[in-house]
Amino acid sequence: MHALDPLLSPARFEWGCATSSFQIEGASSADGKVPSIWDTFCSQPGRIKDASDGREACDHYHHFATDVRLIAELGFKHYRFSIAWPRITTVDHKANLAGLDFYKRLLDALDQHGITPNATLFHWDLPAHLEGGWLNRDTAYRFADYAALVAQHLGDRLPRVATLNEPWCSAFLGHDLGVFAPGGQNRAQSLVAAHHLMLAHGLGMQAWRSVQAKTSLGIVLNPELCDPLTDKPEDVKAARLAEQERNDCFLNPLFGREWPDALLQQIRELGAIRREGDLSICAQPLDFMGLNYYTRSIGKAPVSTSDATRGYTFVPPTAPKKLTDIGWEIYPEGLTRVVQNLQAQWPLPPMWITENGAADNTGLAHGAVDDGMRCDYLEAHFEQVAELIRAGVDIRGYYVWSLLDNFEWAHGYSQRFGIVHVDFQTQKRTPKRSALMLQKLLCE
């Protein structure tokens, strides 16, 4: 790629890179940090593919100054990161000033390099001491307390804040499929978690605005694009159910709408946890929405008893497709399709592409990483973003996932999403070809 589309010029369009706290910070018990549900999950045999954990990760806690300097050298003017709830609150819900000081120092470094922070309050690292986690309604109120605490201590330095990142993952990967913390496998309970997450979003928005009214507030979602395997009615219905779980479950409450009947049926008697007035709490005015996109899914009618509880089965693409190293189909046109689908159903606020990237595990050779597949992936998605803007969609920025190779959740360190290679033994950072490509595009 020789140049960016003029619509994506850094002079008019926001370019950034993204990370999350548990995936990069390490220092898992430093300065009063308490355990998260991911610390607990990693300690359970068989949960993480390579039996690793996030205790050290990229040790960003001690290398943040180097990492911020690298962000600046690569030409990014915006940085999306998450704040670790267990790092800045104690078990009795008080402020941990030592943990807060880390984020103050991070914000100082970003400011010194002219980089605008874009913070997420919850990127899955829930404090382990919150009894019941997202199955407990009280956790939504504890989140509001946490949001108010961050607003009080850091809010005047955070121009844009997202409440939650991808609540679908916390609810359904964590409580239905059981592949994410805390590892539950109960369909109805996953919908309980989904409701409490959206309640937390609304309460958190209210709490933040009571302290810092001028902050731009929103949420980050990972909407589904699920195509049916065939045009058989049962496959079409299954694909739609998958989209309702990923999209309607979270977008409907954002706009004060009830869940689809299929989800109400699946929560069964546990639906009593959804109280009158909850939808109005969830439907706080949104200043923006973050959209994370990587791939699409292919759905068919359920083929097992467990799949029958959710109404669909995911299958690989039928024809040979280009895949990233994690096995996800490279399908850039899906970004356009999913945005169009969302626009047709909900009154969306201004949008940012808050995550987009590829697992490209190309190794370090002679001091460099030639991650050509990632470069091609990114370029194809940049073109989709430009075309969406050209068609009138209000997309204001793009954040590549991720700045650094990091702890990739249940995959451990086996999958590398970073544009910067990390040697996890030495913590040496090496910009990959993709990083240098972006540097050239953003700095020319």
| CB atoms closer than 10 angstroms to residue 329 | 16
Question: Active-site residue 333, yes or no?
Answer: no
Residue with tokens 């000033």: 97
Geometric angle at alpha carbon 356, from 353 and 357, rounded to 5°: 160
* β-pair partners for 398: 15, 353
For residue 182, say if its preceding peptide bond is cis, omega within 30 degrees of 0: yes
- 218 phi and psi, to 5 degrees? -165, -160
Determine the Cα angle at 233 with ends 228 and 238, to 5°.
50
Q: Could you please report the per-residue DSSP string of 182-223? A: T----HHHHHHHHHHHHHHHHHHHHHHHHH-TTSEEEEEE--
Calpha distance 72→78 (Å, rounded): 9
CB 219 within 8 A of CB 161: no
- Which is catalytic among the residues 14, 166, 243, 245? 166
Using DSSP bridges, classify how beta strands 14-18 and 395-401 pair: parallel, antiparallel or unpaired.
Answer: parallel
Active site residue 166: yes
Could you write out the DSSP letters of every residue in 307-376?
HHHHT-EEE--SS---B-TTS-B--THHHHHHHHHHHHHS----EEEEE------PPPBTTB---HHHHH
Q: What is the DSSP string of 45-73?
A: TTSSTTS--SSSTT-HHHHHHHHHHHHHH
The Cα 135–Cα 261 span in angstroms is 21
Which DSSP letter does residue 275 get?
A: -
**Element (DSSP H or E) covering residue 291:** strand 288-292
Q: Distance of CA 234 to CAs 228, 300, 338, Å?
A: 9, 7, 22
Task: Report, as residue numbers or ranges, the catalytic residues.
Answer: 166, 355
